[in-house]
Each structure stands twice: as structure tokens, then as C-alpha cells.
Structure 1
């Protein structure tokens, strides 16, 4: 088998729908992080400018906003890892992988990932 046929066979094993879904998931996570961070920063500056009367109130609000930013980063990292797991499931359970292994059954890794998801 030549190089061209080998490349075509490898490209046939790529689950393009899962790859596109993963790219969209990562784009959404990045947008969520960026917009959440900017929104919370703007809320802090607006409250500081117009509604904060005492320094004590502002310090408590700053702590709450920083905790919310960390929550946003935690949720984003969870979805990032979940997207990678779903992409791996797409690779291991696709019918192209079944064709490569020569039998019409999933791999052990594919079964484990599907069971976990």
C-alpha cells in the first residue's frame, strides 16, 4: 500500500462530526470565560463607581466577584476536559476504527470511555 492510500485510510478513520463538535465546544468555553470575566470586572467597576458607600462593602463585593471568576474558570476547565473525553469517545467508537481492527466490535478503550460517559 502506498503513502497516498495509507493517508486516505487514516483520514477515513477521523470522526469529523465529533471533531467539529469539540471545536464548537472549545469555542463556547472560551467565549464563556472571556465574557464572564469581562462582565464581572465591569460589574465591579460600576458598583465601585455608583453604589459603594463604604470601603468595607466594596472589599466584600470584590471578594465575591473574585470567587465568581474562579467558579467560571472551574466550570470552563470541566467542560474543556469533558470535550476531550467526548472527542476520544468519538475516535474510539467510530465505525472506521472497527474497520481498521478488522472486526465489527468496539475496542476495549472505546467501551470504557462509552461506559464512563
Structure 2
């Protein structure tokens, strides 16, 4: 007996892309650490306190680190595009039941389903 639910197949591209905000945050953090190390290893200036010197150096190194992290994320994203695969995905649409109006809508990690469909890769 065949499955009575309507299905639709289509080609989809699967790839693993980097989370850009994480790369930017790590780059900014490494810039802050580099600023701290720079202030600790360079000789002290009588005109500026350690905190002021750290702030000045961090104003330069944190954005540079964030930009380098973003550039690395873009590079890895380009690499992930080349390594992507095209597969056939099947969409199964569930039929409404008589008691569907009384049931609460199910929510997943991305929020409520828009069309009630379920994606699966055979």
C-alpha cells in the first residue's frame, strides 16, 4: 500500500558554512589579548598609565583582530561552497486531522512550522 501523504522532491545544496560572528568575536578577543601582552612587555611611559596605554593599544588591535577573523570566515565560507554537495530532498506534507484546530502548534528550534511540512533527505 502506498503512502497517502503528498510528497515533493527537489535538489538542495548541503554545505557547512562557518559562523561569522564567532570568528569576529575570537579575532577581537585575540586582539585584546595581544594588546594586553603588548602593554605588559613594552616599557612604561611616564605620560600614560597602564590602563590608558592598554585602552589605546586595544583601540587599534581589537578591530584589526576582528577584521582578520572576518576575513578568515569569508575564506572558509568560499571553501565550503566548493565542497558543497547537491542531494535530493523529499518534502512530506502532513494532512490536517479533524482535531487539528484544537491542537497547539508545535514549535521547533527555529520556531513554528510555516506550512506544516517536514523535510527529510532519503
Range of TM-score over shorter length: 0.3 to 0.5
TM-score normalised by L of structure 1: 0.41
Between Structure 1 and Structure 2, the one with more strand by share is 2
Task: Between the two structures, name the one with larger relative contact order (CA 8 Å, sep ≥ 6).
Answer: 2
TM-score normalised by L of structure 2: 0.40
